[in-house]
Every structure is written in structure tokens, then in C-alpha cells.
Amino acid sequence: MERRIDDWLALSFVDGLGSVTYCNLIRKFGNPGSIFKASFHDLEAVEGIRPHVIEGIKAFNRADRVERELERMREHHVSLVAFVDENYPAQLLHIYDPPPFLYVKGELQQGDRLAIAVVGSRFASHYGKVTAEKISQDLALEGITIVSGMARGIDSSAHKAALAAGGRTIAVLGCGIDVNYPAENTRLKEEIASHGAVISEFPLSTPPASSHFPMRNRIISGLSLGVVVVEASHRSGSLITARLALEQGRDVFAVPGSIDSLRSRGTHRLIKDGAKLVEDARDILTELLPQMKDRSQSVAAHQERKELVNEEARSILDVLEQGQVQIDRIITQTGLPSSQVSSTLLDLEFKGIIRQLPGKVFVKKQEH
């Protein structure tokens, strides 16, 4: 990305700074470099920021840690995709607390907006693995990207089936991308990176920890149109993913199992609570078909987004009716302060109404 990656990393290393406040800072100041230069007073105006975080920003002195992180990224061929970048997953932008950026090994593509998560027990039965493989394979053959957490059991079966079908798959980790966890999936991780992407919000070398996996799960569901749970006990982490999916407005699907199986207690509870019972991929595709007709590109969706913009944003959009416009010209023609133009452009980009081209050139996204 055409930004100062070191500044994005540096801001993430400020103690106590969470995803929501990080994104609020970027929307206000435009980029991390400007945040570090901002006054204490200006930083206080950011929604949700706490005094100790402001102090951490003003006193930040961890250049050595940033340099080590950049070196590890180069060593492991890991890139950084920020929430203002065009290839940041569009679905993920609409959750409450999207990661400000993702570490990515492999490649994220626009087609990944048509993604479905397949998750389940780490201690899966033969039935569970075969069912997860069949569903994932059939979805992949329809051009659906399969998202999962690369754990043992159902997750691994889902990833492998998508790869076997020649499809795309995304693994979301609860540790640093360079950490091989679980160890037996080291080769699978490389295959996923070659035919999709391995992603994480955690810095490199971060070990797996129990607190990381609920955070990881919100990304799994956030990337997806729906979540399919295949085998889950009554205390399975997959139920957390399902709950997060519901909170994010995603569909939840559950595969039934034997009434005697402890591994299916969680999925049966989901079905009792209203999850859609799934027997094969067709059940999922039929339910999601309306969403798969490129809803984000429809005139109705674009009109809905336009209603969310303010007067400054409308004046900028009027200038962009001319086509591709450089930021200096936008400032001149709107008469708005440069800081206001920068923050408004970022907000419009965040909402998916415009996109940025090289050289600080902006253009409206095409309507269909």
C-alpha cells in the first residue's frame, strides 16, 4: 500500500489503543503520521480516547520494535492491508470493531466478498469432517471463498476441501502469521497462502492465547455472508463465532448430527434457537442467493450510502463527477480546509463510495 507502513505499525504499538479508537483517530487525522504530530488538545477531541492513550501517543518511542516488525514481515513475505485500502475486505468494514489493518500472507481479492465461514469442533468425528469437506467443496466450486480458523478438525477439513476444489480460502489466525499453530498445519498454511490468504490482526511472533480466539472469531464471521457450524459441543468456540455472526447481521447455518453425539449438542442448540438447518451446500446457496447478486454494487445500495454523507462530502462528490481528480484540485474547487477534505475523503472511502488511485487521485466507484 502507498502509505507509511511503519507509522501504521507504530500506532498499533501504543499501549491501550484498541481497534475502535484507532480507526476513529485515522478518520479524524487522515493518517498515523498526523496523529503522532497532533496536539494533546486535538487528540482529546477523538471519540472514545482515554488520557493514558494520548500520553502513550505523545511519548511513543518504540522505533526499534517497529523496525523489527518490518524486518520480520519482509522475511516471511507478509504485507499489511489497512482498513482504508481498496483490497481491505468490504464485509469486514461493517462490523463494530474492524481491525485497523490486517497482516496478510497471500492475497485478498475483491471476489472474496462472496465468502462463507465453515467452522466446528477441533475434535471432529469422521461424519463431521466428511460433511465439512462436502459442503466446502461444493461452495468453492460455485466460486465462494471458504473462511475458517485453520484449527484442527472441521476448520482444516474446510480449508483442504476448498483447495482440492481449486477454490479460494482464507485462514484467520489467533496468533502471529509466522507462528505455526497448530504445528501439523504448517504445510496447509503455505498452501492457503498460495491459493488465498492467511491473515491475522496480531503482530508477528504473537503466540496463541485463549483470549485471542474470540477476537479471531469476530473476523471469521465479519468476513463472511454467513457462518456454517459443523459439529460443536455445548461449550465450543464455534458457538462464539455463531453469536458474533448474529450480532453482525450474518446468517447462521448448522449441520445436524446424531442426537446421541456430544459433538452435536451445540449445533442442535443453534437450530433450536433459529439457525437454518443445513444438509448440503444448496441449502446455503438458496438462502444467500439474494446477497450474492453483487448487492454492494446495486443502485439501491449506493443510494443508501449517499444518504449517509454530510454537506462537505456531497461537495466533494460533486467535484468527483468530473472523473479522476487529484486531492489538490478537490481542495481548490470545494474551498474546504485540506484537513477536512482529507478526513472526508477517508470517510467516503471507508463507506465504499469512492476509491483512491496512486498519486492521491480519487474517483467515484461505478454504479451499476
* pLDDT, tens digit, 9 for 90 and up, residues 157-190: 999 999 999 999 999 999 999 999 999 999 999 9
| 350, 93 Cβ separation under 8 angstroms | yes
Q: What is the mean pLDDT of residues 292-314?
A: 55
User: pTM of the entire structure?
Assistant: 0.78
Is 325 in a helix, a strand, or coil? strand
Q: pLDDT value at position 304? A: 45
Q: How far apart are CA 103 and CA 97, in angstroms?
A: 16
Number of neighbours of residue 153 by Cβ within 10 angstroms: 21
Q: How confident is the model at residue 347 (pLDDT cuts 50, 70, 90)?
A: confident
Q: What is the mean pLDDT of residues 93-119?
A: 94
Closest CA to 18 of 82, 101, 97, 103: 97
Q: Which residues contact 364 (CB under 8 A, 6 or more apart)?
A: 317, 320, 321, 353, 354
**Domains delineated in the chain:** 1-75 (1.10.150), 106-288 (3.40.50.450), 295-364 (1.10.10.10)
DSSP 263: G
Would strands 115-120 and 226-230 be described as parallel, antiparallel, or unpaired? Answer: parallel
Q: How confident is the model at residue 339 (pLDDT cuts 50, 70, 90)?
A: low
Q: How far apart are CA 125 and CA 152, in angstroms?
A: 12
Q: Which amino acid is present at 332? A: T
Q: pLDDT value at position 298? A: 42
| 270, 245 Cβ separation under 8 angstroms | no
C-alpha cell at 74: 519482509
291 or 162: whose pLDDT is higher? 162
- 300 pLDDT higher than 50: no
Mean pLDDT of the chain: 89
- 104 pLDDT higher than 50: yes
Q: How confident is the model at residue 308 (pLDDT cuts 50, 70, 90)?
A: low
Q: What is the mean pLDDT of residues 217-228?
A: 96
Q: What is the mean pLDDT of residues 199-225?
A: 96
Q: What is the mean pLDDT of residues 125-147?
A: 94
Q: How far apart are CA 241 and CA 247, in angstroms?
A: 10
Q: Which residues contact 228 (CB under 8 A, 6 or more apart)?
A: 116, 117, 118, 119, 135, 253, 254, 255, 278, 284
Q: How far apart are CA 117 and CA 144, in angstroms?
A: 10
Is 275 in a helix, a strand, or coil? coil
Q: pLDDT value at position 301? A: 45
- 67 pLDDT higher than 60: yes
Q: pLDDT value at position 2? A: 40
Q: How confident is the model at residue 338 (pLDDT cuts 50, 70, 90)?
A: confident
C-alpha cell at 21: 479508537
- 280 pLDDT higher than 70: yes
- 291 pLDDT higher than 70: no
Closest CA to 232 of 266, 187, 259: 266
DSSP 140: H
Q: What is the mean pLDDT of residues 331-341?
A: 83
In terms of DSSP H, where are the helices of the chain? 5-12, 19-29, 32-37, 40-44, 51-58, 63-75, 126-141, 154-164, 186-194, 212-222, 237-247, 265-272, 281-288, 299-306, 311-319, 327-334, 338-350
Q: Which residues contact 217 (CB under 8 A, 6 or more apart)?
A: 149, 237, 240, 241, 244
| 227, 117 Cβ separation under 8 angstroms | yes
| 262, 230 Cβ separation under 8 angstroms | no
Q: How far apart are CA 171 and CA 184, in angstroms?
A: 15
Q: How far apart are CA 334 and CA 318, in angstroms?
A: 9
Q: pLDDT value at position 306? A: 43
Q: What is the mean pLDDT of residues 70-98?
A: 94
- 23 pLDDT higher than 90: yes
- 10 pLDDT higher than 80: yes
Percentage with pLDDT > 70 across the chain: 92
- 297 pLDDT higher than 60: no
Q: How confident is the model at residue 289 (pLDDT cuts 50, 70, 90)?
A: confident
- pLDDT tens digits along 238-269: 999 999 999 999 999 999 999 988 889 999 99
